[in-house]
Amino acid sequence: MPSKAQRPVQGKRRQTASKVRAAALTLFARYGYAAVSMRQIASEVGVQPGALYNHFPTKQDILKDLMLSHMGELLTAWTSAKPHPQTDPLVAFARFHIRYHMERADEVFVSYMELRNLEADNFAAVDAERRRYEAILTGILEDGAANGRYALDDPKVTTRALIAMLTGIATWYRASGTLSRQTVEDYYINLVCRAVSLEPGKTQRENG
Amino acid sequence: MPSKAQRPVQGKRRQTASKVRAAALTLFARYGYAAVSMRQIASEVGVQPGALYNHFPTKQDILKDLMLSHMGELLTAWTSAKPHPQTDPLVAFARFHIRYHMERADEVFVSYMELRNLEADNFAAVDAERRRYEAILTGILEDGAANGRYALDDPKVTTRALIAMLTGIATWYRASGTLSRQTVEDYYINLVCRAVSLEPGKTQRENG
DNA sequence: CTTGAAAATGAATGATCGTTCATTTATTTC
DNA sequence: GAAATAAATGAACGATCATTCATTTTCAAG
């Protein structure tokens, strides 16, 4: 007799599948895909190894699912993000990227460390998404360079440099540390702005 | 009867050991430590698996050797690097870092992707070297910030941001591409300079 | 409550893993 | 060239790997 009726949402059906995803994500992030066994994942989920195959056909499919989901959610999140319309586009993108990546250290870690372990088809699919995401930043840089708002040598090189810098936060930032998320975000925004000679004070888009 | 006397240098003794290192480096960089077997390494060297154990006691020792050697050589290279004395210290360091890392993509890749696969003792040793290297840049930034040459929020955060940005070159730069090493180097130097508000034209150290 | 389907079990498959070792082969030392 | 030493072989070890499957258990729908 539960005091509040247990949600009968979609049965227990899809529950194990998402527990598998969660366990695999944590283990892959910590030990690496190749070093994690299906037995470890099963043990973490609290199930026998064979049961995993009711939800994912192979170990590789778990990795593919995690990485494609991450990229898909990242792109969706950007599309539906509505930054303050006065904010400079580069600043808006960088703030979005920093926040999203600080909140999902494991996903980020797996998604850029395990590319090597994707089979050819899966790599192509994930890499296409990654390029779509980078193209967003490249477009912003091209626009800003065209009208003189940013100073930069090459939009694609700058894209890779900035993405590497920002994504790197996930490799060292720990919520338990002394720096708050907001502080780290602000410091990195300053670095990004200066890297393209956008005066940090002038991050409001000029209208008219 | 060799036309030119075969170098009897140190016999064939250490020759296999360095072939093992080279093979392991290439394989680890391409497939990851955990995904590479001792049999693959032996096959690449042209030897039976058991022979590897005449040179390295375990697979883990090969990884430790590769990573510690890389860090040691990196620190030695910096110590013995003699940049033009008029060059701004940050520019000198960044140029050194970029060049060193573009020339050794495999070493760099292994050294920052395989940290997870080091046993505790080995990780501690490698990480200590890594921190020694980062401390060099942090020191440069602190000096420059103290006398107003650079604008930055936090030397340690800036160190991590710049190192991530610069090291990221190894993940995408290919000598076969359209961009020359010198071009990439120059673009990144501009990014670094602007990131700390050091006017790119003013990269000569002022004396007096 | 009955029925059909999905999920989980528990045991097994063959393959591959890192590592060992007695033996043979190659190299260095005297 | 003989003796000593190191390297390489080839076969084997037990452990663990991803995956399969007949069977049992659990769950959702009628």
pLDDT at position B110 over 90 = yes
Inter-chain touch B117–A162, beta carbons under 8 Å = no
Strand D bases, protein C-beta under 7 A: 6-12, 16-22, 26-29
Within 8 A of A37 by CB-CB distance, chain B residues are: none
Residue whose pair of structure tokens reads 């032996």 in the numeric block: B42
Say how far apart CA B44 and CA B24 lie, in whole Å.
9
CA-atom Rg of chain A in angstroms: 20
- Contact residues for B13 (Cβ-Cβ < 8 A; gap 6+): none
pLDDT tens digits for range A42-90: 999 999 999 999 999 999 999 999 999 999 999 999 999 988 889 999 9
Identify the bridge partners of residue B204 per DSSP, sorted by sequence position: B87
The spacing between the Cα labelled CA in A102 and the C1' in C4, in angstroms, equals 46
Q: Could you tell me if B68 and B129 are in contact, meaning their C-beta atoms sit under 8 angstroms apart?
A: yes
Inter-chain touch A161–B188, beta carbons under 8 Å = yes
Say how far apart CA A187 and CA A191 lie, in whole Å.
6
B10 touches strand D (CB under 7 A): no
pLDDT at position B129 over 90 = yes
Chain A residue with CA closest to B163: the answer is A165
> CB less than 7 Å from strand C: which protein residues?
A 12-13, 16, 46-51, 54-55; B 8, 11-13, 36-40, 49-50, 52-53, 57-60
CA-atom Rg of chain B in angstroms: 20
- How much is the pLDDT for B101? 95
pLDDT tens digits for range B94-109: 999 999 999 999 999 9
pLDDT tens digits for range A106-155: 999 999 999 999 999 999 999 999 999 999 999 999 999 999 999 999 99
Q: Could you tell me if B110 and B27 are in contact, meaning their C-beta atoms sit under 8 angstroms apart?
A: no
- How much is the pLDDT for B4? 32
Inter-chain touch B194–A190, beta carbons under 8 Å = no
pLDDT at position B9 over 50 = no
The spacing between the Cα labelled CA in B50 and the C1' in C21, in angstroms, equals 10
Residue nearest to nucleotide D8 (CA to C1'): B51
- pTM of the complete model: 0.92
Q: Could you tell me if A107 and A25 are in contact, meaning their C-beta atoms sit under 8 angstroms apart?
A: yes
Query: If you average pLDDT over residues B110-137, what whole number do you get?
Result: 97
Name the residue among A112, A117, A193, A164 with its Cα closest to residue B173. A164
Query: If you average pLDDT over residues B54-75, what whole number do you get?
Result: 98
Pick out residues 49-88 of chain B having their CB under 7 A from any atom of nucleic acid strand D: 49-51, 54-55
pLDDT at position B82 over 50 = yes
pLDDT at position B6 over 80 = no
Say how far apart CA A198 and CA A151 lie, in whole Å.
8
Q: Collapse the DSSP code of B87 into the 3-class scheme (helix H, G, I; strand E, B; otherwise coil) and give the result.
A: strand
pLDDT at position A199 over 90 = no
- Please give, rounded to a whole number of angstroms, the shortest distance from the CA of A192 to a CA of chain B: 7
Q: Using a CB cutoff of 8 Å and minimum separation of 24, what contacts does A60-64 make?
A: A60/A118, A60/A119, A60/A122, A62/A20, A62/A21, A62/A24, A63/A24, A63/A28, A63/A33, A63/A110, A63/A114, A63/A117, A63/A118, A63/A122, A64/A118, A64/A122, A64/A125, A64/A126
Q: Which structure tokens are listed for A65? A: 């699912």
| Nucleotide nearest residue A54, measured CA to C1' | C7
Say how far apart CA B17 and CA A192 lie, in whole Å.
45
- The pair phi, psi for residue A151, each rounded to 5°, is -105, 120
